[in-house]
Chain A
Amino acid sequence: MKFYEIAKEPINIQSVIDKVVQREAGAITTFIGTVRELTDGKKTLFLVYEAYEAMAVKKLAQIGAEIEQRWQGARVAITHRVGRLDIMDVAVVIAVSTPHRADAYEANRYAIERIKEIVPIWKKEHWENGEEWVGNQLETVAYPSGKPEAGDINE
């Protein structure tokens, strides 16, 4: 089973959830990232996501490994879509199962925040009057060493 995937077609949400079902789990949390129409009052028409696919899959797997180390008994599955997505389309699905619910919520939040730090996926916003690659959602100014800080990579 592939727990970490880049998808070119619409994501089957249930199939991502099914991957983390386990007898030891008492909770499964699911995060579904969708395409929002308005950002700061500006109307998005559609988005195009692009990935460095081989590395993106590795980095998603790294995030899963970080979670399994940090939250005992966790199981993680993540699928991120690429290509053109319209408003309300599903861009990413993260499923996390753990023995207890608090961990499932926390670990799932951790996964999406890490995706925004280390997974090589980019989105281009298309508006009525233009288009732009979106970078820097975390508003970090630069990477002075040329890579994420050591903690980001090995944590």
Chain B
Amino acid sequence: MNKVLFFAHLRDAVGEEYVTVDASGKTVAELKADLAAKYDLARMETIMTAINEEFVSNDEVIAEGDEIAFIPPVSGG
């Protein structure tokens, strides 16, 4: 299984800090599309993705146990 973390406006839209899904074997892009459809998330092209706390690209394949985080444009500082 995979823990998928949401932050900022995505967390508000999904209504959860994280969800648990089986995403192993999927690409990041496929998981993004699944979740965008399920939770009606807009503008997912602006969202970066991290696997196990490192940025990855949309074609990265997710492995069993990976922690995935969807990272909206950051606004720290």
Contact = CB atoms under 8 A, between A and B. Distances in A.
Interface of A: 33, 49-52, 54-56, 58, 80, 91-92, 112, 115-124, 133-138, 140-148, 153
18 contacts: A50-B11, A55-B54, A112-B77, A116-B75, A120-B71, A121-B76, A122-B74, A123-B75, A123-B76, A124-B8, A135-B73, A135-B75, A137-B75, A143-B46, A146-B28, A146-B56, A146-B57, A146-B60
Contacts of A120: 7, 50, 69, 71, 74, 76
Contacts, number: 109
Given A92-B77, A122-B8, A146-B58, A135 B72 contact: yes
Interface size class of B (residues with CB under 8 A): 20 to 34
Given A52-B7, A120-B69, A147 B57 contact: yes
B5 interface: yes
A134 B57 contact: no
B45 interface: yes
B73 A140 contact: yes
Contacts of B54: 55, 58
Contacts of B55: 118, 147-148, 153
Contacts of A145: 57-58
Interface string B42-77: 010111111001111110100000000101111111
Interface of B is mostly: mixed
Contacts of B43: 142
A136 to B, nearest CB: 4
A146 B49 CA distance: 6
A136 B56 contact: no
Contacts of A50: 7-8, 11
A54 to B, nearest CB: 6
Given A50-B8, A52-B69, A124-B8, A92 B57 contact: no
Contacts of B7: 50, 52, 120, 122
B9 interface: yes
B29 interface: yes
A130 to B, nearest CB: 13
